[in-house]
Chain A
Amino acid sequence: MGPGMGGSINKINVGGAWTTIVHASTSKHVAPAEQRNKLCRYMKMLSRKATCHSHGQDSSYFLGLQEYEKNPYHEVHNPSGIIQMGLAENQLSFDLIESWLSRNSDRTNFIENGRSIFRDLALFQDYHGLPAFKKADENLNLAVNINSQVLAEFVEEIRGNKVRFDPNKLVLTAGATSANETLIFCLAEPGEAFLVPTPYYPGFDRDLKWRTEVEIVPVHCSSLNHFRLTKSALEEAYQQAQKLKLKVKGVLITNPSNPLGTTMTKDELHHLITFAVAKEIHIVSDEIYSGTVFDSPSFVSVIEAAKIKYPKDTTLWSRIHIVYSLSKDLGLPGFRVGMIYSNNEAVISAATKMSSFGLVSSQTQYLLSKILGDRKFTKYYIKENQRRVKKRHEMLVLGLKKAGIRCLKSNAGLFCWVDMRHLLRTSTFDAEMELWKKIVCEVGLNISPGSSCHCSEPGWFRVCFSNMSKETLNLSMQRIKAFVDSINGGRYGQNDARSLCSSRSKKVTCYMGFIIVKICLST
């Protein structure tokens, strides 16, 4: 998260650990010459959390974003710049929301029943747990107190109304980032562990581990069976945790998967549930991409699968927790609307109180309660959005195919999991980094290397397709084709217009060389 990390970056070595410092324009407060010494001194004054690297921002995932920031593609102003394909944003359906806003401006101007409710909104910081703010104010009820109801209904709609969501079991949080961290705080102690199937979203290293001090033990999935979650992989991860003397508190899955773009099968879900029941641990299901399922098999939530397999097991029910957000389906990451859903009253109670640290702006809640409350609109939006995602997905798959590159067969998400193993010099992560550097700097595409997603096999990359125009996507595929052709046919880069990047590549190489060392040291 947080693609823009501007400012100049320096690295200093403090007691053997490399740390990055962003120089804000602060020299007027501290003489520049003394700055480094002072910072070294003050590093000792900060917490371990502040000086460690669990924020995860030294990973290639974030580095790629940084490179893009330095040289971003623009159709007119910078046609040879880097195309951003590392950001899983949904930009395909904004026009639908914009037209809704134009048509409904009278419903979103803080006026209800002819009365301004601005002050009610401004004061509303109820997190649903504290009774103090449930005023007997009908207007406020109309506007905001139904928000949970409206969100619950929207979530049901996304799942084809196959499962009921009780608004009282819902906790709003500032994005899924906050929801995931909050759940880990509630379910595990510092030093305990969660199992997470690989490959996984790079942000989890920060979200699940940083401030919670909980460990992630990877559940390795393999391309041999299309990265499906297996019983043996779960068992192996559990044994590994025991070897490391880590108490496992749960499994966190992302379904549909990021970066795979696939929905979990009923079998996978059954394996997972059986395993969790046997080990008596929690299941957290991050379903942030559930609205982007565009093809069969249709989305099956872990809640549904549990209903089928263990319809009467109330203990199981108290151990399943869902995370959702409007950032991907509605394309509104800036508005910070996430949620936790759980049948466990104790979890809801604790998570609700914790949400004080990351509440959703009431102004935003108000707007969304209007949009999502328009059921006709949401029905149409969900369907149309899925259709557009499907089309883009097809475009990318076909374009890559033309370049002789295959993708994992997928039916969801805003990205493809692309197989570039045949383009690696050797089947190693070093070679993957080498290829990645080339693709970012020479081909000009910021894609995410599988190693940043903790994939156990080198050569896989996540490529996003819904955060750009059709034309830009086409251009990116032309570039990839040219690149592959050059590998097959001859030297690359002699007449390319991207001299900017090649002159920069030395600097980047040094920087990235450091990162390779870091990644090797930490895995």
Chain B
Amino acid sequence: MTIEDEQPSVELSKVAVSETHGEDSPYFAGWKAYDEDPYHESSNPSGVIQMGLAENQVSFDLLEEYLEHHPQEASWGKGASGFRENALFQDYHGLQSFRNAMASFMGQVRGERAKFDPDRVVLTAGATAANELLTFILANPGDALLVPTPYYPGFDRDLRWRTGVNIVPVHCDSSNNFQVTPQALDAAYSKAEAMNIKVRGVLITNPSNPLGATIQRSVLGEILDFVTRKNIHLVSDEIYSGSAFSSTEFVSIAEVLEARDYKDSERVHIVYSLSKDLGLPGFRVGTIYSYNDWVVTTARRMSSFTLISSQTQQLLASMLSDKSFTQNYIKTNRERLKKRYQTIIEGLRNAGIDCLEGNAGLFCWMNLSPLLEKPTRECELDLWNTVLQEVKLNISPGSSCHCSEPGWFRVCFANMSEQTLEVALKRIHQFMEGRKTNGGNLNFLLI
């Protein structure tokens, strides 16, 4: 049965044929190039090194060790005695033990400076689903969310595609380290108003992707004041909260609310996931934590479309309620990420490249604007393509993150071995040397 190479005679929906899924952007094109020629230490040493994927691979050994010492956790006990109950469990409240464990883990990640109520935890299959779900709940088709730039490219799909909701960018720039300002928020809000678009909320990522930096407490306060003034929602995607290099550097919106005695907190919703901190994107574990009862109720019902496998809930409930394991994990993970960050920053500095000062996340925000012929998006994409095809590194161009200043790139450092990172840094060094000596000619030998 072959399908003719023409439009199907029955139309599909606009959503199905639109490009709002965003997968034609360079963000995804880079992955393709990597996929066609992936770096491998021994079998393909000149292949493309993947630096466009914000994965955390630095702490798996800790998880594997836990599993080795607790084999029953992954197998329902002796003779699979707990199997049937687990296999039947499809309650959208989620396993109580797992919700408790998540609430406790979230508190630990924040150094116990905020407490989380398990009854407010709503489970979803990943933060991708959590963000979409919240958007369905907080906004109608045609409405908008304000999102500070630069932002995670996936938001274009997650917040807009099936929901029909718009993103109006809140422009941030390097003059103040890309921090959000009340002026920028006001400007975005006015822009939306001018377009007759109703703004329903602000969505921030804290720590920020792609900046790799936490949002300062004072800025969080300003954002909270802004949303209160406008009577709109605030969604804080804190997926990288456990990846802050030191526990005290990260301030969660939960802490700001606590300091204000939870006044007006029903407009605030936190998104979290285990994909980054625990490095488990494959297990699809996300959560919405809302201070709004109705949002909790509705989100729970909607989560029917995106429940977490009860098998996975069971395994992680045990793991995350083991406090000695989680304390050690959180601490060690932070230390390792910090070390990786220092390695890459130093390596880039030696190559004459500056980065935004970061303190969190699995990537750094690299400034290659001095290398641009002209400060335009086209030149940025040219440079990106050069880095991809000739330096053989897949990094993410700032334009794919909607950055208003050309020349910035997100470079991931936690999804590879230390050796591979060294190789990548050597290539960058060579590339920069090549540009200095050859005045732009890119003839050099790849290590």
A residues with CB within 8 A of B = 1-7, 20-26, 29-30, 35, 38-39, 42-43, 45-50, 55, 57, 89, 91, 94, 97-98, 101-102, 105, 108-110, 116, 118-119, 121-125, 130-132, 134-136, 174-175, 177-178, 181, 185-190, 206-207, 210-211, 249, 280-282, 314-315, 317-319, 327, 331-336, 343-347, 350, 353-354, 356-364, 367
Q: Which residue of B lies closest to A181 (CB)?
A: B305
Q: Which residue of A lies closest to B8 (CB)?
A: A318
- Within B84-140, which residues are at the interface with A (CB < 8 Å)? 84, 86-93, 117, 119-120, 125-126, 128-129, 132, 136-140
List the 4 shortest-distance A-B pairs measured between CB atoms, nearest first: A334-B310, A362-B282, A24-B119, A2-B92
Q: Is the CB of A132 within 8 A of B31?
A: yes
Q: Is the CB of B76 within 8 A of A101?
A: yes
Q: Report which of A6, A186, A359 forms a contact with B15, defined as CB distance below 8 A.
A: A186
Q: How far does the alpha carbon of A509 sit from the alpha carbon of B240 in the complex, in Å?
A: 50
Q: How far does the alpha carbon of A373 sit from the alpha carbon of B231 in the complex, in Å?
A: 54
Q: Is the CB of A357 within 8 A of B125?
A: yes
Q: How far does the alpha carbon of A122 sit from the alpha carbon of B81 in the complex, in Å?
A: 25
Q: How far does the alpha carbon of A334 sit from the alpha carbon of B92 in the complex, in Å?
A: 10
Q: Is the CB of B31 within 8 A of A131?
A: yes
Q: A47-B143, A132-B31 are in contact. List 8 more A-B contacts (CB 8 A).
A: A24-B120, A29-B265, A97-B83, A98-B79, A101-B76, A101-B83, A282-B10, A364-B311
Q: Which stretch (B67-75, B189-197, B425-433) binds chain A?
A: B67-75
B3 within 8 A of A: yes
Q: Which stretch (B206-214, B294-302, B320-328) binds chain A?
A: B294-302
Q: How far does the alpha carbon of A132 sit from the alpha carbon of B52 in the complex, in Å?
A: 11
18 A–B contacts, CB within 8 A, in A order: A22-B293, A43-B294, A47-B143, A47-B200, A50-B136, A102-B79, A122-B283, A130-B28, A134-B35, A174-B309, A178-B306, A207-B305, A333-B87, A334-B311, A336-B90, A359-B284, A363-B74, A363-B283
B34 within 8 A of A: yes
Q: Is the CB of A123 within 8 A of B89?
A: no
Q: Is the CB of B292 within 8 A of A122?
A: no
Given contacts A131-B32, A280-B9, A361-B308, contact A2 B231 (CB under 8 A): no
Q: Report which of A3, A89, A124, A281 forms a contact with B282, defined as CB distance below 8 A.
A: A124
Expressed in whole angstroms, the minimum distance between the Cβ of A520 and any Cβ of chain B is 23
Q: Is the CB of B3 within 8 A of A174?
A: no
Q: Is the CB of A281 within 8 A of B293?
A: no
Q: Which residue of B lies closest to A95 (CB)?
A: B84
Given contacts A26-B293, A130-B28, contact A47 B75 (CB under 8 A): no
B119: A residues at CB distance < 8 A: 7, 24-26
Q: Is the CB of B8 within 8 A of A315?
A: yes
Q: How far does the alpha carbon of A42 sit from the alpha carbon of B200 in the complex, in Å?
A: 12
Q: Which of A110, A116, A359 has the most CB of B within 10 A?
A: A359
Expressed in whole angstroms, the minimum distance between the Cβ of B42 and any Cβ of chain A is 12
Q: Is the CB of B125 within 8 A of A174?
A: yes
Q: Report which of A55, A123, A175, A344 forms a contact with B301, defined as CB distance below 8 A.
A: A55
Q: Is the CB of A360 within 8 A of B309?
A: yes
Q: Which of A46, A131, A353 has the most CB of B within 10 A?
A: A46
Q: Which residue of A lies closest to B119 (CB)?
A: A24
A353: B residues at CB distance < 8 A: 21, 23, 157
Q: Which stretch (B55-63, B218-226, B339-347) binds chain A?
A: B55-63
B13 within 8 A of A: yes
Q: Which residue of A lies closest to B298 (CB)?
A: A50
Q: Is the CB of B265 within 8 A of A335?
A: no
B55: A residues at CB distance < 8 A: 123
B307 within 8 A of A: yes
Q: How far does the alpha carbon of A43 sit from the alpha carbon of B76 in the complex, in Å?
A: 42
Q: Is the CB of B294 within 8 A of A335?
A: no
B233 within 8 A of A: yes
Q: Is the CB of B63 within 8 A of A94?
A: no
B26 within 8 A of A: no
Q: How far does the alpha carbon of A249 sit from the alpha carbon of B312 in the complex, in Å?
A: 37
Q: How far does the alpha carbon of A29 sit from the alpha carbon of B290 in the complex, in Å?
A: 11
Expressed in whole angstroms, the minimum distance between the Cβ of A229 and any Cβ of chain B is 20
B357 within 8 A of A: no
A2: B residues at CB distance < 8 A: 90-93, 300-301, 304
Q: Which residue of B lies closest to A175 (CB)?
A: B307
Q: How far does the alpha carbon of A1 sit from the alpha carbon of B120 in the complex, in Å?
A: 20
Q: Is the CB of B10 within 8 A of A335?
A: no
B89: A residues at CB distance < 8 A: 333-334
Q: Is the CB of A91 within 8 A of B88?
A: yes
Q: Report which of A125, A187, A282, A314 forms a contact with B4, defined as CB distance below 8 A.
A: A314
Q: Is the CB of A94 within 8 A of B83?
A: yes
Given contacts A5-B93, A98-B84, contact A363 B34 (CB under 8 A): no
Q: How far does the alpha carbon of A314 sit from the alpha carbon of B125 in the complex, in Å?
A: 36
Q: Is the CB of A335 within 8 A of B87?
A: yes
Given contacts A29-B262, A357-B129, A358-B306, contact A136 B87 (CB under 8 A): no
Q: Which residue of A lies closest to B76 (CB)?
A: A101
Q: Is the CB of A121 within 8 A of B120?
A: no
Q: How far does the alpha carbon of A22 sit from the alpha carbon of B122 in the complex, in Å?
A: 13
A175: B residues at CB distance < 8 A: 90, 307
Q: Is the CB of A363 within 8 A of B12?
A: no
B162 within 8 A of A: yes
A122: B residues at CB distance < 8 A: 60, 63, 279-283
Q: How far does the alpha carbon of A119 sit from the alpha carbon of B59 in the complex, in Å?
A: 10
Q: Is the CB of A314 within 8 A of B301?
A: no
Q: Which residue of A lies closest to B282 (CB)?
A: A362
Q: How far does the alpha carbon of A108 sit from the alpha carbon of B64 in the complex, in Å?
A: 15
Q: How far does the alpha carbon of A109 sit from the alpha carbon of B60 in the complex, in Å?
A: 16
Q: How far does the alpha carbon of A101 sit from the alpha carbon of B78 in the complex, in Å?
A: 10
Q: Is the CB of B75 within 8 A of A188?
A: no
Q: Report which of B137, B301, B307 forms a contact with A336, defined as CB distance below 8 A.
A: B307
Expressed in whole angstroms, the minimum distance between the Cβ of A363 and any Cβ of chain B is 5
Expressed in whole angstroms, the minimum distance between the Cβ of A129 and any Cβ of chain B is 8
Expressed in whole angstroms, the minimum distance between the Cβ of B388 and any Cβ of chain A is 14
Q: Is the CB of A363 within 8 A of B90?
A: no
Q: How far does the alpha carbon of A358 sit from the alpha carbon of B130 in the complex, in Å?
A: 10
Q: Report which of A26, A132, A350, A360 forms a contact with B16, defined as CB distance below 8 A.
A: A350
Q: How far does the alpha carbon of A125 sit from the alpha carbon of B71 in the complex, in Å?
A: 24
A3: B residues at CB distance < 8 A: 90-91
Q: Is the CB of B304 within 8 A of A1?
A: yes
Q: Which residue of B lies closest to A276 (CB)?
A: B10
Q: Is the CB of B294 within 8 A of A21?
A: yes
Q: Is the CB of B12 within 8 A of A350?
A: yes
